[in-house]
Amino acid sequence: MGILLYICKLKLKIYSLLARYPVSYKWPTYWWRKCGYNIGDNSIISPYCLLWGTHHSDTNLLTIEDDVHIGPYSILVLRTHPASDIAKYGKISSTISGSICIKKGSWIGASVTILPNVTIGEGSIVGAGAVVTKNVDSYTIVAGVPAKKIRTLK
């Protein structure tokens, strides 16, 4: 069992590297699918996007539905740690992990960071450089650090 786990981890690292440094804009989407993540049809994950805190068992934590566009240098954080751990103990003693769901037809701008336990609603737009800490309603434009509602599209 140990060698299979090692091979699985190695395969995930290789696929992740190939997704991060692509030759074509279609490569990241292809390699993320090969890693086992749920990515819908006609979705585009731009070059240099990063899945932060991934583990070989985290493939069910990320769902990207159809017609989603994710801009370059965006970071999807599936696992992190609370800042209070370092302040109190000087080390990391616990982790926060959660799912990210990006619904159909959403656009994620360049250099966006999406934290765990966030759902981006259908047809929403996230402005470049935003840090999304909370759920985004459907057909909403959000931007800023932290991301705040700019307006509703419908």
Active-site residue flag, 81:
yes
- What is the C-alpha to C-alpha distance for residues 153 and 136, in angstroms, rounded to an integer? 12
Q: How far is CA 13 from CA 5, 7, 56, 60, 76, in A?
A: 12, 10, 9, 17, 16
Catalytic-role residue among 55, 56, 69, 81: 81
Cα torsion for 59, 54, 99, 25, to the nearest 10°?
-70
The Cα–Cα gap between 124 and 23 comes to 29
Structure tokens at 108: 């994620």
- Alpha-carbon distances of 116 from 2, 6, 14, 23, 55, rounded to whole Å: 29, 26, 24, 29, 14
What is the length of the chain?
154
Q: Supply the residues annotated as catalytic.
A: 81
